[in-house]
Amino acid sequence: MKKTRLFQFIAGLAVLAAQQVCSAQTTPPPDVLNPRADVGDPTRTDVPTLRTDITLPQVQFIFDQLLDPNRVSLIESVTNTSLNDPRLTPGARSVILNHLAAMQQVELAIRFLQANRSDILAGNSAPFNQVFGNIGTLREVAIINPNPVGTNATLARLAAGATTGYITLTFQAAGQGTTGSVVSNVVGNLKAGDFIYIAPQANLSDPTAPVDVSALGGVVARVFAVLTNTGTGGGNTQPRILLDPNTPPIPTTAFGGQNNMLQVYKVNRFEERTDSTRYEQVLATFQNIRTALSGLDPDLALLGLPSSQISYNRAFTDINTVWTPGVASFTRLDGVINDFANTRVTGLTSTLGADRLVRQAGFSTSDSYYHHDRAEDRGNNILTDRLGQQTTPLLWTEDNTLPLVFNTRSPVSGATDEDRAFFRDRQTIFSEPDNVFIQYLGRAFFEETIQHAGGFFDELAFGIDAGSQLQLIRDRRDPAGGAFVTTLVATPAGNVRIREQELAEVPESGDPVVSDTTLRKWQMIIESFAEFDTDLTRFDVAAIGIAAINGGVAPGDLAAKDATNYALFAGLLSGADVDSIDVSRIEPFGKRADGGFNPVVPRN
């Protein structure tokens, strides 16, 4: 989340969102009153049971009017303890139960990762490999002595002279804060040909420090010479290290933009070790999900701010009023989306990318009138539709307009928000940008089924049972939904224009193909909270839809960026695997500060 969001929503946005009255519908729809069987259902083997040996943080929930007609959550605090409150609808209690299950499973995932680090890095963890891939790849790393040979060093390039161009590390003189013992440490422990690790000030013996200290932004360099200068006025001795001129260029951002107050460590040796980057990324992302599910901003959790209410809303909210094109674009996959968007229509130059509106559900397979219109326009190589929109394949998130009467442009009488294709058929759960504490739910979330099933890039299947859609005669329009197409016909009374007619499928008349959602409710919550920030370049945030864009599998390093994978991994720990997590195997705090601990950094 953005650090500029200082929890205005703690007592503001979340409450206001929940207080909105759904004027179009005050009676909860069937999915709210009768959600699909929940966590703990003995007939289901793929859901976790809430455990009594794991203490979860208390979370305050707030619901909109459809989920909470009695407004219990506005009158008093609704928390973990309200799980069986009969005043709440089954849907509201289902949300509480599944949110707690999500918290539990994320906690178990973190414990599993911490307890099985060695097996995961060795490529021997079947659960990790199944979801995130085998990360048993080797790279050369530097094993460094955790005790610095010198501190308070300044990085600079020598002035003109015999050694012009050399990069130097100069330590403060004894009278300037560097003691004689430090001088002796630098001169006595380093010689030409040694390798050193240069990093910002940090105590690597800190038990809370990570093993892989590459996050400190340091570099490994070779020593060309170790010098001492005798200062004037006080006879101060000032140690100086010249780096090998063959050292690769050190970027100005190598130390976070800091070129002084640096620490220098001696490299004991180089080894080939398993690259732990993906493991650390998965662990850090799970830890952020845990924080967010607890009602805390992952970026601000250490400030001790109070937790936020988590607002769940069932009433219709158009996702296009929450997310806008271009927001939270996963730029690495923009080209894949753009290439597909420009197919089949000559001259189309869309720049559609992998933003959240695209990644949320992919391209529509419904039999809505809007999807029919878009398919017809594309089939006729029309570049813009009657509304002036580019005729790219229709997104599910765009397919959210009320249905129209066949052969007219009049709205269907009595149509409600529940008749909007995306909201009715595909909306599971989504949050607001940079604010996962406000969540919007659809029918597909509670019933765990999607209608008009199809793949991410399907656009013509319409997701209906074959032959189920009605066909009738209608007046032809060009473009679809636009002006009537007429033909000039000679009659005894003179030439008249007659509307052309055509046989066409009737929108909204087919029987949708229904499929179970890939994820259970508690898993959908994990998936939604995994994308807690719109900055998808972050190391510790995941994005929805990455695997779907790649045909169902997130390859290589993308596996740790796919939000669905975090829900799937937590699902592997819901059955027999849960008992295999031995809490006693988790390393105790402070273990890594014991003697013999040598931090590992990647070699440049």
Looking at residue 83, what is its pLDDT? 94
Higher pLDDT residue, 271 or 32? 32
Number of other CB atoms surrounding residue 245 within 10 Å: 11
Looking at residue 593, what is its pLDDT? 31
Q: What are the residues facing 587 on neighbouring strands?
A: none
The string of DSSP letters for 401-441 reads: S--B-TTS-PBPTT--GGGSHIIIII--EEEETTEEEEEEE
Residue 15 reports pLDDT greater than 60? no
Task: Grade residue 8 by pLDDT with cuts at 50, 70 and 90.
Answer: very low
Tell me what the pLDDT averaged over the chain comes to.
83
Residue 19 reports pLDDT greater than 90? no
497: helix, strand or coil: strand
How far apart (Å, rounded) are the C-alpha atoms in residues 79 and 293? 13
How does pLDDT run across 57-77, given as a tens digit for each residue? 999 999 999 999 999 999 999
User: Which phi-psi region, left, alpha or beta, contains residue 388 (left: φ > 0; alpha: ψ -120 to 50)?
Assistant: left
Residue 179 reports pLDDT greater than 70? no
User: Quick check: pTM over 0.85?
Assistant: no
* Range 424-436 average pLDDT: 97
Q: In this structure, which amino acid lies at residue 206?
A: D
- Both tokens assigned to 434: 């940079």
Task: Grade residue 173 by pLDDT with cuts at 50, 70 and 90.
Answer: low
Which helix (H) or strand (E) covers residue 571, if one does? helix 563-572
How does pLDDT run across 509-550, given as a tens digit for each residue? 999 999 999 999 999 999 999 999 999 999 999 999 999 999
333: helix, strand or coil: helix
220: helix, strand or coil: strand
Task: Grade residue 557 by pLDDT with cuts at 50, 70 and 90.
Answer: confident
Number of other CB atoms surrounding residue 351 within 10 Å: 13
| Strand pairing class (310-313; 435-441) | parallel
Residue 47 reports pLDDT greater than 90? no
How far apart (Å, rounded) are the C-alpha atoms in residues 533 and 604? 30
- Both tokens assigned to 495: 């030439």
How far apart (Å, rounded) are the C-alpha atoms in residues 413 and 401? 14
If 0-12 CB within 10 Å is exposed, 13-18 middle and 19+ buried, where does residue 92 land?
A: buried
How far apart (Å, rounded) are the C-alpha atoms in residues 360 and 407? 31
What is each CA distance from 233 to 44, 236, 237, 238, in whole angstroms?
82, 8, 11, 13
Report H helices in 76-163.
90-115, 117-121, 126-132
> Is 278 in contact with 171 (CB distance < 8 Å)?
no
343: helix, strand or coil: coil
Query: What single DSSP character describes residue 34?
Result: S
106: helix, strand or coil: helix
| Strand pairing class (501-505; 483-484) | unpaired
